[in-house]
Structure 1
Amino acid sequence: MTVTREDIQAAARRIGGRVRRTPVLQVAPTLTFKLELLQHVGSFKPRGAFNRLLSAKEQGTLTGQGVVAASGGNAGLAAAYAARELGVPARIFVPESAPAPKVKRLKTLDADVVQVGSEYAEAYAAAVVACEESGALLVHAYDQPEVVAGQGTLGLELLKQVDGFDTVLVAVGGGGLIAGIATAIGDRAQVIGVEPELAPTLHRALEDGQPVDVQVGGLAADSLGARRLGSLAFEAVRANNVRSVLVDEDAIVAARNQLWHEYHLAVEHGAAVTQAALLSGAYRPGADERVLVVVCGANTDPSTLD
């Protein structure tokens, strides 16, 4: 199954009033930030979670059993938030390595939190079993059509908020966000996926011609730690000629600190990768190229900022 721009437009109508239209900040004549870190629960993920739950509600498949999700943190926060807003229970499976601030926040959203395994893939396997046993609705972190369509609403916002741009830099883990953005605006602007060198799911998929399992680790693994690019993302990036660039750990740390010191944006490591691409030269814009950087997540411990 593929996701279309019409699916994204329908998602925008469906979730209108449930998510924030996050602001943009022009930081230089040819550089603009999309401040999606100001979204509910600190990341772009509620867009997809609300579209998944509201679609299920329309179809009668959102029941009193509620929802189950697996996450490194942000997708779980989004699913728990959307479930609470719609009055159904949420059970969230996270790796044992999930950051303490994210786990704590999940509990404040009344979610039943289960920590299992050392990475996202293990938490997801446990979540699937829990769904089969309970009959709850599974909310995938990135590879469901409703989730991708919801994330793509960010792309529609960009078209309304920014008067012309050439390139959008998007962080990639499992690929739900870049799949949605590429589908929404890939025929109007260049979309570049940015990944840590230690979690190159998109990069390897493009090299191999299909999604493949990769080893993941590093500072950004809590939010960009999917072991394999989603199939929906692969179809979207291939259809829209998306390219991938990689950034190393030092570049991520430097960009995260720059975002804090220069712009007072406290972001998680996974959200800093897009700025790291510019700061390190992993992506070099052409002369007068208008670049839009998606800053997608704020769930971090501020005490770790230098």
Structure 2
Amino acid sequence: MPLHIRTPYLRSSPLSQHQDVWLKLEALQPCGSFKLRGVGALCEARLAQGARGFISSSGGNAGIAAAYAGRALGVPVRVVVPETTSARARQIILDTGAQLTVHGSHWAEAHALAEELTGPQDAFVHPFDDPLLWQGHAVLVDEMAEQGPKPDVVVLSVGGGGLLCGVLEGLWRNGWFDVPVLAVETVGADSYAQSLKAGHPVALPRITSIATTLGAKQPCDESVHRAQRHPVHSLVVSDAEAVAAAVRLMDDHRLVVEPACGAALAALTQGHPLLNVARSIAVVVCGGVTTPDTELRALHARLSAPH
């Protein structure tokens, strides 16, 4: 049995005012995000190859998924996170039984240390850049193909590009080559938008968005390369729009997600041409557990207040 669960794919009545909006509810995974699909697949494969320990770098959710996978498989895990990772995410990792190291001012510095700490009997669990991860994430599209109608467009949040690569792989193996993807980021974490514009991966000087789990300063190479083989469009929304969309999901569907996930939901109100002509829209509700409901509402109040 895989470590992830089969999540609901449902039509949202509150969001389906002008066209059908379908939500793939990855926030319901046991560790709270889609990350468990790819991380679980990667950890199971590395264990079968003889790994005796897992080491991961993470801004939060990938580390939580690695900790969950390690506990389920009986393998010790060490997660390295940057100083920007919330206290809530750190505590969840510790509570799940993993060792935690805090290092660096951003994910890239934590990642470099995690690679250094990986010994000969350890498997390194990358948060977004590994073909096994993408294969694991692709299963969510397999489920969509079985659970509901073929959408006219898939909307998702993008950080390092792991989810995007997985969704593209899933679209291809289901023959949905004509289904475009709208990849959404927040201002200040928009490395993918800048990379698509440049035609190659671009590194941001720093992350300034509150959506820190989108905080890969540079997307993986393959996420940019795959956009040359499939229609991938980019959209950048504000932090305020992402948070407002997350609050609306909480009110409409009683489901709490991070601002990073809210970015994809915010696309529904932006009037993007791709969405304006779509009859059926699929949104990957990727989840995230590092922002509780009280904090989400406080962010919403602060960001929506007149300046």
Distance 2:37 2:2 in 1: 11
Q: Is structure 2 residue 116 aligned with structure 1 residue 126?
A: no
Tell me the amino acid that sits aligned with residue 40 of structure 1: P
Provide the aligned C-alpha RMSD in A. 1.6
Q: What is the total number of aligned residue pairs between the two structures?
A: 286
Q: 2:100 aligns with which of 69, 94, 113?
A: 113
Partner of 1:290: 280
The offset of 1:134, in angstroms, is 5.8
| Residue aligned with 1:212, SS | coil
Over residues 202-259 of structure 1, what are the superposed CA-to-partner deviations in whole Å (9 max), with x where a residue is unaligned? 11111111112113221111x1000111022222222212111110112112111211
- 1:162 correspondence with 2:151: no
**Is residue 3 of structure 2 the alignment partner of residue 18 of structure 1?**
yes
For structure 1, which runs of at least 5 residues remain unmatched after alignment?
Answer: 1-15
- Alignment correspondent of 1:213: 203
- State yes or no: 1:257 paired with 2:242: no
Please name the residue that 2:80 is paired with: 93
Q: Within 2, Cα distance between the matches of 1:284 and 1:184?
A: 20
Residue 34 of structure 1: SS of its match in structure 2? strand
Q: In 2, distance between residues paired with 1:75 and 1:288? A: 32
Runs of 5+ unmatched residues, structure 2: 298-307
Q: CA deviation at 1:30?
A: 1.0
1:7 is aligned to: none
State the Cα deviation string for residues 255-290 of structure 1 (Å, max 9, x = none): 112111222221111010011111233566234521
- For the 8 Å contact 2:2–2:41, the answer to whether it is kept is no
Question: What amino acid does structure 2 have at the position aligned with 1:145?
Answer: P
Shift of 1:118: 1.4
How far apart are the structure 1 equivalents of 2:203 and 2:180?
A: 26
User: Alpha-carbon deviation of 1:57?
Assistant: 2.7
Match of 2:133 in 1: 147
Q: Which residue does 1:173 correspond to in 2?
A: 159
State the shift of 1:164 in Å: 2.1
The farther-off stretch of 42-51 and 285-294 is 285-294
Aligned-pair CA distance for 1:74: 0.4
Is the CA contact 1:210–1:234 (under 8 Å) kept in the aligned structure 2? yes
**In structure 2, how many angstroms separate the alpha carbons of the residues matched to 1:163 and 1:76?**
33
4+ residue runs over 6 A deviation? none
Q: Which residue of 2 aligns with 1:137?
A: 123
Contact 1:251 1:280 in 2 (8 A): no
Contact 1:69 1:140 in 2 (8 A): yes
Partner deviation per Cα, 1:29-51 (whole Å, 9 max, x = no partner): 51111110001210001111111
TM score, norm. by length of structure 1: 0.89
CA contact (8 A) 1:247 1:282 kept: no
Q: TM-score scaled by structure 2?
A: 0.89
User: How far apart are residue 83 of structure 1 and its match?
Assistant: 1.1
Q: What secondary structure sits across from 2:56 in the alignment?
A: strand
**C-alpha contact (below 8 Å) 2:26/2:287 kept by paired residues:** yes
Cα distance in 2 for residues equivalent to 1:304 and 1:61:
41
Encode CA deviations 1:175-196: one digit per residue, 9 max, x unaligned.
0001110121151411111111
Deviation per CA, 1:100-137, whole angstroms, max 9, x where unpaired?
A: 11111101111000011111111101101101x46411
* Residue number in structure 1 paired with 2:30: 40
Q: For residues 116 and 282 of structure 1, what CA distance do their matches in structure 2 show?
A: 39
Change (3 A) 1:154 1:283: farther
In structure 2, the residue matched to 1:275 is: 265
State whether residues 239 and 259 of structure 2, in contact with CA within 8 Å, keep that contact through their aligned partners in structure 1: no
SS at match of 2:31: helix
